Amino acid sequence: MIWNLNFLLRKSNSRFVLFCCLLSPLSARAKESVPEWVKAAATQVLPAYPPDTKAVVLLDDTTYTVNLDGTAIEHSRTVIKILRPQGRDQGLVFVPFDKDRKILSMHVWSIGPSGQEYALNDKEMVELGYPGQGNLYEDERIRAARPPGRDPGGVVAYEYEQRMLPYIAEKTWFFQDSSPRLHQSFTLELPAGFSYTTVWTHHSKIQESDPEDRRRWRWEINNTPAIDLEQVLHRPSALSLAGRMTVRFGPSSAVPKDGWQGIGEWYEGLSHDRLTAIPEMVTKARELTAGKTDFYDKTEAIAEFVQKDVRYFAIEMGIGGYQPHFAADIYRNRYGDCKDKATLLSSMLSTVGVHAALLMVDSRRGVIDPDSPSIVGNHMVTAIEIPQGYDSPKLRSVFTAKTGRRYLVFDPTWEKTPFGQVEHELQGGYGVLMEGPDSQVIQIPLLPPTFNTIYRVGHLQLAANGSLKGRVTEDRFGDVSDRRRALYTHGSAQEQNENLDHVLEQDFSTFKVSDVKVENAEALNKKLTLSYNIDVDSYARAMGPLLAVRPRVLGEDAPEVDQKDRKVPIDLRQTIQVNDEYDIELPDGFAVDETPNAVALDVGFASYTSSTSVKGKTLHYSRTYTVRQIVLTPQKYGDLRKLSSLIATDEQSRAVLKKQ
Amino acid sequence: MNIRSHLFYAAILTGLVSITPLLFADQWTTPTKEELSMTSQDGYPGIAAVYLDRDEITEDKLHVWSVYVRLKVLTEKGKDYANVELDYGSSSNGGGYTVNDISGRTIHPDGTIIPFTGKPYEKLIERTHGAEGYKHMAKVFTMPDVEVGSIIEYRYTLRYDDYWYISPTWYIQSDLYLRKGRYVWKPTNKQLISKSAGREHLTNSIGWLPILPPGAEVKQSRLPPVQSEVEGQLILELNVHDIPPAPQEEYMPPIGSFTYRVRFYYSPYRTTEEFWKAEGKYWAKDRDKFIGPGPKVAAAVRELSTPADSQDQKLQKFYAAVMALENTDYSREHDRTEDRAAGLREVHNTDDILERKRGTSDQLTELFVAMARAAGMKAYLFALTRRDRSIFTNYYLNLSQLDDDIAVVNVGGKERFFDPGSRYCPYGHLDWIHTYAGGIRQTEDGSVIATTPGEGYSFSRTQRIADLKMDDHGEVNGTVKITYMGEDALSWRHRLLRGDNQSLQKELRTNLEHLFPGGMNVQVTSISQPEDYEKPLTVEYSVKGAIGAPTGKRLFVPADIFVSNSKAVFPHEKRQLAVYFPYPHMLQDAVRIHLPSSIKAESVPAADKQMFETSALYVLTSEQKPDSVTIRRDLSLGDFLFPPKDYPNLRSFYTKLETKDQENIVLTNAQPIDRAKSISPSN
């Protein structure tokens, strides 16, 4: 390669790594005046923060000035104080922009721990693109800076002005994140004749200042605590807890009363013409549904086509972050992002007389709040209308809209979720049904554990020397099968073998696997079956005349817990049911001296039962672990600990055999 | 270490005013029936895709590197290869390249051809400003209608700016199987000037480092001279076939830089020896200029030591002084602005580092060398390839393979090695990444290629002692003391440097929680000598919780509680590559459980000893008393590299000790131990 372009050789998906490689050929100007508002913020006395606080936002002021033509100018000031070495990265400055969000000006200052002041010039800032990870192109960029003095005790400040061309007359003020925030304000300036509404999410409403000119409103919040989930087990999404305020504005006569309806109508304007089907799509849909008359069978055929044969590749430029491509282009190219795939599915279904709408969701459960209409969301799926009077047990992720119409939620982007279900990330969360004037927020059902299952069966023989041989069969269905399905459809033989070795090494120290069989890896609506023979050395341990054997042969299900005080809700991710049945044929000359006690615990959101019995010369172990609810209050953490302890203890329990 | 070279054409290329576009548009390959219908590659079941063809042709005269790819998609994962991102860019001080002439097509297994008609997207990766600014972009495109079974075919050219030349590197081996590859370089016959670190060289030869499978070789040929040419066009060509994917295994040596490839370079040198002699000499002199020592270092040395000190005593004082300075590799690089604001000039030599009281690892090493020299000792710099990243080879004529510096000092007539750049590394020792590492070192009259020494297994040692008291319910309460020595202590101290006491404490607690049975309450009660690098790092904990699995009348307790969660090191039967551990080490555990009068030990694991040749030793002993059980377990690993032929026996050694580790202490209680019964929902 050309040797003076070393940067071109760097292969990195990390924005931070790229940024760290920035040379600093020109120096920031020291001793130039740091604005008074920065100095004032920097000299504040801080309240006591938890010892692991990395940095604190001393000041975050945003002024959002709306023009008559709907464009806006955003002016922002931020001051951050670094408290610990790990907080240095929070002193890196990143301001995102694109062609519809142009940065008009940007200034960065810093004050080192010694009090030395610095001001960066424009040439010391860099522009970065978002890493694509191989399947994404987007035109959003970041203007970034690496201010001097970013050490504990140092202060970093920046101010920028950005011209916004909003796609919808809405602005969300995010005022809570992983750092505590001392003083924050949001100011809204509207032209004459405009009015606004606000909705508050995860925070009680704050009263705005009420100016005399009725053109400028200001909200202030002080001492906002951090939401630091870095070390929290079973943590919910930070954004599902963080406070935010969404303000919608417009000419006084035009501000809609129902925010969700307004969002749906806006989105219909963006997407309606994208749904048009071309003749090739009609032909394909007919070909896929040929001979099928049942609603489920027809929709499944088309849905699986879009799910499996249209690969994920995102191209997002400007409004393209919200607006899908034309269904015809997606069909021809056989690629698209989530909203493209949802659009193509809706379009193709329409050619066989099935109506489907787009459903905006967020894979971070709890981010979409039914009481806070906004366009905050990160994913698009399809809501397929179910004909009146039609019913089928195969339709599982079903909701009924206020209109009385029933819909099946399906995500064609999620490659391994069976048609009729939806992935666990979306279950229990909310979505925005884009149905024009009938648009509304809906809740996606939480599926019962029986649609997400693991069932392990082992028929094994124990030898007097402690070795164990036999065949194990494991069935998986639902979300818990998706990684395995991906492995056995996408992975190489080496990857498959290594994965099975790693699964078995959790429970055996020395083993051999043979005769591995996999069934239904592609058939999402059938159980994925993995079966194999195992030959385990020293499975049972001799202790004089005794032989100790673990009846629970495979599978560790105890949820991970810690001993810290729990302050945030618990997210167990998915409902699930796990069953284990192991029959161990005992060696001649040994009798069972002792078996583990049966255990049973039901804590409401989950239950666990296990028992070990002896039938003739066979030791039989059976257990069932069920998770019924996934979002729990912090107060339930004690029960989760008890459940975890009980399962972990049961999993290590031994039966004792005695030599006759 | 960052030595960069610039190559450009010395003369004005008035004759090269136009570049003939490459006429590739119609030169697609018709797939064979076998290629259309293939569903797998023999010997590589489940492989995502296969390169059917890969051609790379570099023509210096045209300043063009053209690439042609034909790839068969075999699985869903293989579809990812339809997404292509091609980097390009330019720098403010001249030079750059663009990506042009992208074309392609997708062919379905039935022979249907879908041409690529899309337009590549221009994506910004990074743009900086100023005299050394650069713009790094990428062209992004994805092939149309790709399905499992499709053949993806595309080509593009990289066009380099005038006056700039490339010496290509051909990466032959990748994560995919390559059926056929053809690589051609037509180098310029013009005289080039190489610029490196302010020096200029007239290049007069081309060198290359071939890492190729048996039977493959770079062939040279020359076209007949044209017009006034003295010599015809030189052509370097490589044809390969059936190249397997690069192997990937756990505990593999750092051979990422040694997959099949050919690295070319224009060079002013004709032999390897000539290169290392000349470049090494220049490097040594250049470093000497920085090292000095200058007057400030000399003054510091006078202040730090007394004439009565032995060389070793002096050196220990210098080492301690350097260790006390801030190593910015563990904190943050400071820029010129901060230095200027602090009244500091640009860094030119070790005096400047001393004045700053901070520096990078290499700068601090150079300062240490300067201090030793100022005290009259013979001291040298040694630049090496980090052993965790790669392996040094003198056949690769490029100093960029050298990562870090260490110091070599003659103490009392004997050369000793020091690692002052690895903060908190004990005096006279090396961080493991710098042991057994190749590179070049300074000598009295220049430089020489050399290898660093290693550390014995007893240098890096961890002792873990648990003293636990069990209650009638089988729960324990007690203390744990872990003492880290050598490399084991150094790695924790480096974590401290990258964070603070708060984060170190959290990491130490989490580390023990992961070793112990789940649900145990672990608290760090003290951390001793975290910054005293000559002493062990000792951590004390209080622990509480259940450690065993009860049956009706027995309790099964892990013999060595510190390995109760450990998993098999080598679960896979087959292996291609050598096993490569970081460094030799020793792990010593002692666990004592004091029993209540109601609980008796029915059985304890018998003593055991396992050896793997002379490289590894495992010893487990148990001691049973009426009121206590004590288990001691020692594991020593004397080597770090084991060839593939040793794998079965090495694996057998590990499986035996892992099996032994799974044995339990069996306790019996007069009263049934039923922990489950005490558990009930809180509401």
Render pLDDT for A489-527 as a digit per residue (tens, 0 to 9): 989 998 999 999 999 999 998 899 999 999 999 999 999
- Laid out side by side, the sheet with B199-203 consists of B5-9, B192-196, B199-203
For residue B30, give every residue at least 6 positions away whose Cβ sits within 8 Å of its Cβ, in sequence order, or none: none
Task: Judge contact between A48 and B360, C-beta under 8 A.
Answer: no
What single string gives the DSSP state of each residue in A494-507?
HHHHHHHHHHHHTT
Q: What is the pLDDT at residue B11?
A: 25
Picking from A126, A313, A604, the nearest residue to B126 by CB comes out as A126
Q: B47 — contact with chain A (CB < 8 Å)?
A: yes
**Cβ contacts (< 8 Å) between B85 and chain A: which residues?**
132, 134
Q: What is the pLDDT at residue A26?
A: 37
Q: What is the pLDDT at residue A135?
A: 66
CA distances from A308 to A34, A302, A341, A355, A522 (A): 56, 10, 10, 21, 10
Task: Judge contact between A3 and B91, C-beta under 8 A.
Answer: no
Please provide residue B635's backbone torsions phi and psi, each rounded to the nearest 5 degrees: -130, 120
Q: B8 — contact with chain A (CB < 8 Å)?
A: no
Least confident of B25-34, B245-254, B460-469, B625-634: B25-34
DSSP H or E stretch at residue A270: helix A259-271
Strand B192-196 to strand B5-9: parallel, antiparallel, or no bridges (unpaired)? antiparallel
- Cβ separation of A489 and B75 shorter than 8 Å? yes
**Is cis: bond before B517, omega within 30 of 0?**
no
Buried b (16+ CB within 10 A) or exposed e, A73-94: ebbbbbbbbbbbbbbbebbbbe
- Cβ separation of A649 and B82 shorter than 8 Å? no
The rounded radius of gyration (Å) of the Cα atoms in chain B is 31
As a whole number of angstroms, the distance between CA B237 and CA B484 comes to 54
As a whole number of angstroms, the distance between CA A415 and CA A481 comes to 12
Strands (E), A417-519: 430-434, 440-443, 453-462, 468-477, 511-519
Dihedral over Cα of A531, A533, A535, A541: its sign: positive
The predicted-structure confidence for A187-231, as pLDDT tens digits, reads as follows 999 999 899 999 999 999 999 987 777 789 999 999 999 999 988
**Cβ contacts (< 8 Å) between A7 and chain B: which residues?**
89, 126, 134, 136
Query: For A650, which residue in chain B has the nearest alpha carbon?
Result: B549
Model confidence, pTM: 0.89
How many contiguous H segments (helices) and E segments (strands) does chain B have?
A: 10, 38
Distance to chain A for B496, nearest Cα, Å:
10
Least confident of A122-136, B145-159, B163-177, B374-388: A122-136
Least confident of A2-11, A117-126, A314-323, B582-591: A2-11
Strand B261-267 to strand B326-327: parallel, antiparallel, or no bridges (unpaired)? unpaired
- Cβ separation of A537 and B659 shorter than 8 Å? yes
The predicted-structure confidence for A542-598, as pLDDT tens digits, reads as follows 877 889 999 999 999 999 998 889 999 999 999 999 999 999 999 999 999 999 989
As a whole number of angstroms, the distance between CA B489 and CA B535 comes to 9
Percent share of chain A, pLDDT over 70 = 94
As a whole number of angstroms, the distance between CA A487 and CA A518 comes to 11
Query: For B502, which residue in chain A has the nearest alpha carbon?
Result: A52
| Model confidence band, residue A259 (pLDDT cutoffs 50, 70, 90) | confident
- Cβ separation of B332 and A548 shorter than 8 Å? no
The predicted-structure confidence for A113-127, as pLDDT tens digits, reads as follows 999 999 999 888 999
Dihedral over Cα of B531, B532, B533, B539: its sign: negative
SS (H, E, C) B366-395: HHHHHHHHHCCCCEEEEEECCCCCCCCCCC
As a whole number of angstroms, the distance between CA A506 and CA B560 comes to 17
Q: What is the pLDDT at residue A134?
A: 63
How many C-beta atoms surround the C-beta of residue A534 within 10 A? 23
Least confident of A167-176, A568-577, B416-425: A167-176
- Cβ separation of A85 and B331 shorter than 8 Å? yes
Q: What is the pLDDT at residue A321?
A: 81
Helix (H, G, I), strand (E, B) or coil at A104: strand
Task: Judge contact between B545 and B519, C-beta under 8 A.
Answer: yes
Task: Judge contact between A643 and A632, C-beta under 8 A.
Answer: no
Q: What is the pLDDT at residue B229?
A: 76
| Model confidence band, residue A320 (pLDDT cutoffs 50, 70, 90) | confident
Please provide residue B223's backbone torsions phi and psi, each rounded to the nearest 5 degrees: -75, 160
Residue where the block lists tokens 């096993």: B579
The predicted-structure confidence for A411-425, as pLDDT tens digits, reads as follows 999 999 999 999 999
For residue A567, give every residue at least 6 positions away whose Cβ sits within 8 Å of its Cβ, in sequence order, or none: A634
Strand A55-66 to strand B608-612: parallel, antiparallel, or no bridges (unpaired)? unpaired
| Model confidence band, residue A71 (pLDDT cutoffs 50, 70, 90) | very high
Burial of A103 (0-12, 13-18, 19+ CB in 10 A): middle
Query: For A32, which residue in chain B has the nearest alpha carbon?
Result: B341
Task: Judge contact between A243 and A175, C-beta under 8 A.
Answer: yes
As a whole number of angstroms, the distance between CA A184 and CA A222 comes to 6
Chain A segment 507-526 residues within 8 A of B by beta carbon are 508-512
| Model confidence band, residue B339 (pLDDT cutoffs 50, 70, 90) | confident
Q: B129 — contact with chain A (CB < 8 Å)?
A: yes
Task: Judge contact between A174 and A244, C-beta under 8 A.
Answer: yes
Picking from A129, A498, A654, the nearest residue to B556 by CB comes out as A654
- Cβ separation of B549 and A652 shorter than 8 Å? yes
As a whole number of angstroms, the distance between CA B74 and CA B67 comes to 22
As a whole number of angstroms, the distance between CA B291 and CA B281 comes to 15
Q: B144 — contact with chain A (CB < 8 Å)?
A: yes
Q: What is the pLDDT at residue A214?
A: 76
Greatest Cα-to-Cα distance within chain B, rounded to the nearest angstrom: 105
Does residue B4 surpass a pLDDT of 80?
A: no
| CA nearest neighbour of A88 among A20, A10, A141 | A20
| Model confidence band, residue B551 (pLDDT cutoffs 50, 70, 90) | confident
Angle at the Cα of A624 from the Cα atoms of A619 and A629, rounded to 5 degrees: 170
Q: What is the pLDDT at residue B644?
A: 95
Q: How far is CA A636 from the centre of its chain?
A: 23
Does residue A32 surpass a pLDDT of 80?
A: no
Does residue B33 surpass a pLDDT of 70?
A: yes
| CA nearest neighbour of A328 among A338, A349, A343, A316 | A343
Burial of B210 (0-12, 13-18, 19+ CB in 10 A): middle
| Model confidence band, residue B227 (pLDDT cutoffs 50, 70, 90) | confident
Helix (H, G, I), strand (E, B) or coil at A261: helix
| Model confidence band, residue B24 (pLDDT cutoffs 50, 70, 90) | very low
Does residue B22 surpass a pLDDT of 50?
A: no
Among A139, A413, A652, A658, which would you mutate to test the B interface (most chain B Cβ atoms within 10 Å of its Cβ)? Answer: A652
Does residue B169 surpass a pLDDT of 60?
A: yes
How many C-beta atoms surround the C-beta of residue B94 within 10 A? 13
Chain B segment 230-259 residues within 8 A of A by beta carbon are none
| CA nearest neighbour of A220 among A234, A239, A206 | A206
Q: A544 — contact with chain B (CB < 8 Å)?
A: yes
Q: What is the pLDDT at residue A11?
A: 27
